[in-house]
């Protein structure tokens, strides 16, 4: 008997209704069904009096969700997909993402096509696309060793999270510059003066990083992107580097900064803290019902590559 999970956005009536209907449909088809809300993947925000409020990565998996599940059906928009990825990635459960929101950049199908999508899954007529995730950790005491020689697994972090899109570190509010010392892999640290910094995956290259002027990176390219936010130097520009290189960020600023992961959770980072970003051993696994066509999605969702409405015409000169 196949087993499926349903993760839905419980603040959207449409997603709640579809989740109930889908549960009954799957049970009638002989599936075992487990339900969870996308709120379980929300990291929550820290407060100045509770700067280390967080849930460990492996504790976000919903009850009764296991690696034996064939699929997890995600009902919602991109925010729900980001939350669901954190919930199921530790178990390696593939996600069938169904758009009940607006943009739906990360979703695969729509509600009116859900029945056909389930048929394809039952007939194993699909592929799985793996997307890398980041593991973001904050340490309260700076190490004297470089990221290559220190063993981060042996020192406790005060905050951690899985990240599918991006990690953002900035001042709150964004009223003036911050200074950062950033080390990528074994390379020498660099100084950066900006309102903040973004470290994004290829998946996140079409999110905040794109709005900040970063490049679009096609999925599957094994790179990460470092993007300064409003840098105060012509020398500070976006940098693309190998995703096997860890990134360590040291705030060079006397006051607390704010770190936000995938736009929905974060923590305060003190001047004596360090932020370490590494490629996670967990993957976000997306069920694809047809051959992925990234450029088509860019065109439909973001208008990339559309022809100009008005083109110059040839004019006979006198």
Query: Residues 183, 146: contact at Cβ < 8 Å?
Result: yes
Cis status of the peptide bond prior to 173, with omega within 30 of 0: yes
Neighbours of 227 (CB within 10 A): 28
User: Which residues have CB under 8 Å from 202's CB, separation 6+?
Assistant: 131, 132, 217, 218, 219, 220, 221, 223
The reply to whether 3 sits in an annotated binding site is no
Among 10, 78, 245, 273, the active-site one is 78
Alpha-carbon Rg for the chain in angstroms: 21
| Contact between 161 and 57 (Cβ < 8 Å) | yes
Whether residue 152 is annotated as binding a ligand: the answer is no
Whether residue 209 is annotated as binding a ligand: the answer is yes
Judge whether 242 is annotated as a binding position. no
Residue 243 is assigned to a ligand binding site: no
Consult the annotation and say whether 206 binds a ligand.
yes
Does the annotation place 212 within a ligand binding site? no
CA–CA distance, 173 with 220 (Å, rounded to integer) = 35
The b-or-e profile of 72-107 (16+ CB within 10 A means b, else e) is: bbbbbbbbbbbbbbbbbbbbebbbbbbbbbeebbbb
- Distance from CA of residue 248 to its chain's centroid? 19
204 belongs to an annotated ligand binding site: no
- Residue 208 annotated as binding? yes
In 243-253, which positions are buried (b, 16+ CB within 10 angstroms) versus exposed (e)?
Answer: bebbbbbbbeb
* 78 belongs to the catalytic site: yes
Task: Give the residue numbers of the binding site for NAD(+).
Answer: 78-79, 165-166, 195, 206-211, 264
Residues annotated as catalytic are 78
Bind-site residues: 78-79, 165-166, 195, 206-211, 264
């Amino acid at each position: 008997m196949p087993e499926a999970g349903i993760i839905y956005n419980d603040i959207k009536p449409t997603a709640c209704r579809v989740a109930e209907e889908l549960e009954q449909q799957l049970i009638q088809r002989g599936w075992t069904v487990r339900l969870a809300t996308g709120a379980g993947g929300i990291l929550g925000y820290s407060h100045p009096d509770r700067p280390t409020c967080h849930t460990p990565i492996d504790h976000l998996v919903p009850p009764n969700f296991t690696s034996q599940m064939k699929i997890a059906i995600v009902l919602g928009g991109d925010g729900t997909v980001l939350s669901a990825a954190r919930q199921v990635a530790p178990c390696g459960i593939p996600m069938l993402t169904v758009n009940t929101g607006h943009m739906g950049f990360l979703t695969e199908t729509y509600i009116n096509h859900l029945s056909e999508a389930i048929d394809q899954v039952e007939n194993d007529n699909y592929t799985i696309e793996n997307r890398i995730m980041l593991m973001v950790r904050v340490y309260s005491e700076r190490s004297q060793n470089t990221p290559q020689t220190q063993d981060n697994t042996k020192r406790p972090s005060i905050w951690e999270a899985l990240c599918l899109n991006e990690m953002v570190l900035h001042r709150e509010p964004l009223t003036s510059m911050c200074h950062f010392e950033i080390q990528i892999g074994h390379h020498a640290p660099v100084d950066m003066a900006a309102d903040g910094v973004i470290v994004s995956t290829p998946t996140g290259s079409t999110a905040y990083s794109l709005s900040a002027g970063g490049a679009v990176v096609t999925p599957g390219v094994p790179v990460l992107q470092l993007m300064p936010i409003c840098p105060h130097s012509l020398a500070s520009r976006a940098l693309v580097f190998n995703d096997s290189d860890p990134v360590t960020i040291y705030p060079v600023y006397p006051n607390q900064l704010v770190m936000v992961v995938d736009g929905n959770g974060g923590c305060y980072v003190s001047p004596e803290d360090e932020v370490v970003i590494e490629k996670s051993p967990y993957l976000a696994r997306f069920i694809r019902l047809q051959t992925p066509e990234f450029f088509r999605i860019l065109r439909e969702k973001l208008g990339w590559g559309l022809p100009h409405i008005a083109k110059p015409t040839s004019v006979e000169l006198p």
